A and B are shown apart, each in its own frame.
Chain A
């Protein structure tokens, strides 16, 4: 069990060191066997992980990884929570615990036909908010994983879901005020992701100058 944990810590340390320090990751891995023979693999592996963490801010690749984690934990996950909160609001509306007044735009009248339409559209709104929440969780995951093709796909899905939500709420005369701040946050989020992607592209080009010739 202790050996399995130590091996997991060594793998994590290797991941954290990145390509620029790959040799050092192998060097640590090479000494890991000696640590196992001496009976202290866990202490050695924990130290290697600490060494990798200490090294991360010093390397461009490490800084990018840290920036991606900061973006995922500081922006994308709170956005996901916000969207799930909106989804819960729609569920409460649907099960009748709150009236649609909370969602109506200011000065809106309580036209029974409109209220009926709004309540009928609640499942679609719920689905869209849930899609946005799950989309943000997935976006955080693929961003940390630096799977840029998935980042583009999930980003496009979030953009499409936001436009659809905006259209639906506008047609149903629901309060789109919250969506405006949501769209602003989304724009900021996408700008940060594009900056991260550009940072990654610069790193790749720096690592393989041959690519510049293409």
Chain B
């Protein structure tokens, strides 16, 4: 689904963080630290973006035994297109570097 409205400030922050290393899977807590968003803002945003096909999520085995599996996220092609569309020129160049 294509978004017509301009993304919110929080969504821009998240798009920016995810597009900086577009191929890399990121954990929710790392995204919280990087964007400065609280869990109450980050998770509804991730849910919405996953529903819209902008973000994909997958389960990752825990790093240490006995820990729960963790959800990891990265942008889909549509998400990356949106990120590039709304991003500042500086962010676009860093995304291209990350994709290269």
Contacts and interface: CB of A to CB of B under 8 A. Distances in A.
Interface stretch (A40-48, A82-90, A141-149): A40-48
Contacts of A29: 68
A7 interface: no
Contacts of A23: 57, 71
Interface residues of A, number: 23
Nearest to B30: A34
Interface string A43-61: 1101111110011000000
B68 A33 contact: yes
A38 B71 CA distance: 18
Q: How large is the interface on B (under 10, 10 to 19, 20 to 34, 35 or more residues)?
A: 20 to 34
B68 A48 contact: no
Tell me the interface secondary structure of chain A in the complex.
helix
B39 interface: yes
Interface in B60-80: 62, 67-71
A51 B40 contact: yes
Contacts of B47: 21, 24, 55
Given A21-B47, A24-B47, A26-B71, A31 B40 contact: no
Contacts, number: 67
Contact of B41 (A28, A31, A46, A47): A47
B27 interface: yes
A30 interface: yes
Interface of B: 27-29, 32, 38-44, 46-47, 57, 62, 67-71
28 contacts: A23-B71, A24-B46, A24-B47, A24-B71, A27-B70, A28-B28, A28-B43, A30-B28, A30-B62, A30-B68, A30-B69, A30-B70, A31-B70, A33-B67, A35-B29, A35-B39, A43-B38, A44-B39, A46-B40, A47-B39, A47-B42, A48-B39, A48-B43, A50-B40, A51-B41, A51-B43, A54-B44, A55-B44
Which 10 pairs between the two chains have the least Cβ-Cβ distance? A47-B39, A50-B40, A27-B71, A47-B40, A34-B29, A51-B43, A30-B70, A31-B29, A31-B28, A47-B38
